Amino acid sequence: MDRLKTQIDFLVKIEEMKRIYRQSIFEDKGDWRRENDAEHSWHICMYALVLEEYAPKGTDISKCIKMLLIHDLVEIYAGDTYLYDEQANSNKRQREEKAADKLYSVLGKQGDDLRKLWLEFDEGKTIEAQFANACDRLQPILLNYRSKGEKWKENSIHISQVIEKGNWKTRDIDERVRRFVFDLLEDCVEKGYLLP
């Protein structure tokens, strides 16, 4: 019963993801609002599920989805770090590792397994982590496109920053997805959503 109680306590704790707001915005019943971490995690899980055919051969999509479900849980303690905020990103790794220790340690061995998945996602070396990371980088691009680049314009973001932060030139991903991303980004520049 103690294990179950600990697991339930963990599940209650991670509900706080619903209160961690990201920079990305989306339309909600005619108004624009910021996306929260829980919405983001669900949405990119759907990306992995729907776009599975573009994943490298042999990719375990179930593992990708697990990574995507947990990759931002550390933000409960570490907070969300805007991708293009260089100063905040300078100590992001340390803040998130400390948060991961605090969050996952309560679950014992099960927490160790979740932490390993989080670390695998963060390191981005396995095919599952690479595909999950691609989904995580693609979703905000589409949200920015749909909002006519509101957050990109607000933060004076250039196309080169989006390409670099997403590793879109070197990312091991299906060429159709890469071409889609580059075409979409070029369209964003043409429409004034993103700086050249």
- Map tokens 């729907």 to a residue: 50
Query: Using CA atoms, how far apart are residues 84 and 164, in angstroms rounded to an integer?
Result: 10
Please report, for the chain, the start and end positions of each structural domain, with discontinuous segments joined by +. 2-191
Q: What is the token pair recorded at 41?
A: 């995690």
pLDDT at 185: 98
| Whole-number Cα distances in Å, 11 to 6, 73, 188 | 9, 11, 39
Q: What is the token pair recorded at 78?
A: 């570490």
User: Over the stretch 73-83, which tens digit does the pLDDT of each residue have?
Assistant: 999 999 999 99
Give one DSSP letter per residue of 30-83, joined into a string.
TEEEEEEHHHHHHHHHHHHHHTGGGSPTT--HHHHHHHHHHTTTTHHHH----T
Checking if the pLDDT of 85 tops 70, the result is yes
User: Over the stretch 147-157, which tens digit does the pLDDT of each residue have?
Assistant: 999 999 999 99
Q: Average the pLDDT over 87-115 and give the result.
A: 95
pLDDT at 153: 97
Contact 104, 115 (CB under 8 A): yes
**How many other C-beta atoms are found inside a 10 Å radius of the C-beta of residue 154?**
10
Selection from 125, 85, 78, 123 nearest residue 104 by Cα = 78
Checking if the pLDDT of 1 tops 80, the result is no
Query: Using CA atoms, how far apart are residues 134 and 124, in angstroms rounded to an integer?
Result: 10
CA 134 to chain centre: 9
Element (H, E) at 148: none
Whole-structure pTM value: 0.94
Q: Is 104 left (phi over 0), alpha (psi -120 to 50) or beta?
A: alpha
Q: At what angle do helices 61-70 and 109-123 cross, to 10 degrees?
A: 100
Give the CATH fold of the 2-191 domain: Hypothetical protein af1432 (1.10.3210)
User: Over the stretch 40-75, which tens digit does the pLDDT of each residue have?
Assistant: 999 999 999 999 999 999 999 999 999 999 999 999
Checking if the pLDDT of 101 tops 80, the result is yes
167: which residues sit within 8 A by CB, 6+ positions away? 137
